[in-house]
Amino acid sequence: MSFVTRGFSGRRRDDNPRLPPGQTLVNDWPVLSAGPTPRVGTAEWELTISDETGADHRWNWDQLLALGVEDVTVDIHCVTHWTRLDMAWRGVSLDRLFENVESGHDFVMAHSYGGYTTNLPLEDLLDGKAWIATEADGEPLDPEHGGPARLLVPHLYFWKSAKWIRGLTMMPDDEPGFWEQNGYHFYGDPWKEERYW
């Protein structure tokens, strides 16, 4: 179903082929959050990967950065219909974090400070596709945008890039996180417009 809207011609047209369907290009950085912004200092910040053996892999702020910070320039697509192109990020590749994690499980639940969760397939986090981001636009990531650190999974809608990231838990099955329980899609491919289910 789709029909022409009488009188509408559109004024922010952009034929950029990098714009997924239903998205509008922005230069600012809108905020999608379900509650107040948690404020977590880097001194108390910690990231844990938990696998099925019960072993926890843990990094504090300095240990995270010591794994090696990369520059990443990617396009960001938010489910609320905005897209930013060529956004400059810095962060640690999840390949580095998963180097010593042995798990037979294929799915991951990302946990945030503040209690939010979102689910992802493990393969979407590996092979240079995802980071723990600590800087954006040349600045430390501010709390509104998920600082001190957020997941960055640019090939999926941006809610999958969990703000205020604190943990990744391996799961045998794909279980819905907070956002998915509230109507957002389990996977969230912007090119297929997987916004809601």
Partner 1 sequence: MSAQPLAPPGAARPRAAWHAATVTDVRRETPTAVRLTLDVPTWPGSEAGAHLDVRLTAPDGYQATRSYSIASATPGGVVVLAVDEVPDGEVSPFLTRELRSGDQLEVHGPLGAFFVWRPGQDDRPVQLVAGGSGVVPLYAMAAAHGATGDGTFFRLLYSVRRPEDAFFSDELAALTGPSFELDVVYTRAAPEGWAGPVGRLDKGALAAATIPASHRPRLYVCGSTRFVETIATWLQELGHAAADIRTERFGGL
Give the footprint of partner 1 on this chain (CB under 8 A). 1-13, 21-22, 24, 30-38, 80-81, 114-117, 144, 176, 178, 181-183, 196-197
As a whole number of angstroms, the distance between CA 80 and CA 72 comes to 23
Site for ligand FAD in 33-92 (CB under 6 A): 80
As a whole number of angstroms, the distance between CA 2 and CA 13 comes to 18
Q: Cα Rg for the chain, rounded, in angstroms?
A: 17
Q: What is the 3-state secondary structure (H, E, C) of 57-72?
A: EEEEHHHHHHCCCEEE
Give 12 or 54: the residue with its C-beta nearer to partner 1: 12
Tell me which residue of 74, 82, 73 sits closest to 28, measured CA to CA.
82
The DSSP code for 151 is E
Question: Which of ligand FAD, partner 1, none does residue 10 bind to, with CB < 5 to 8 Å depending on kind?
Answer: partner 1
Question: Which of ligand FAD, partner 1, none does residue 42 bind to, with CB < 5 to 8 Å depending on kind?
Answer: none
Write down the least CB distance from residue 12 to ligand FAD, Å.
Answer: 5
Write down the least CB distance from residue 43 to partner 1, Å.
Answer: 20
Residues in contact with 46: Cβ distance below 8 Å, sequence separation at least 6, in sequence order: 58, 59, 60, 166
Tell me which residue of 25, 134, 42, 127 sits closest to 86, measured CA to CA.
25
Out of 8, 12, 21, 104, name the contact with ligand FAD by CB under 6 A: 12
Q: Among the candidate windows 23-31, 83-91, 110-118, 156-164, which touches ligand FAD by CB under 6 A?
A: 23-31
Write down the least CB distance from residue 72 to ligand FAD, Å.
Answer: 24
Write down the least CB distance from residue 17 to ligand FAD, Å.
Answer: 21
Residues in the site for ligand FAD, rule: CB under 6 A?
Answer: 12, 24, 26, 28, 80
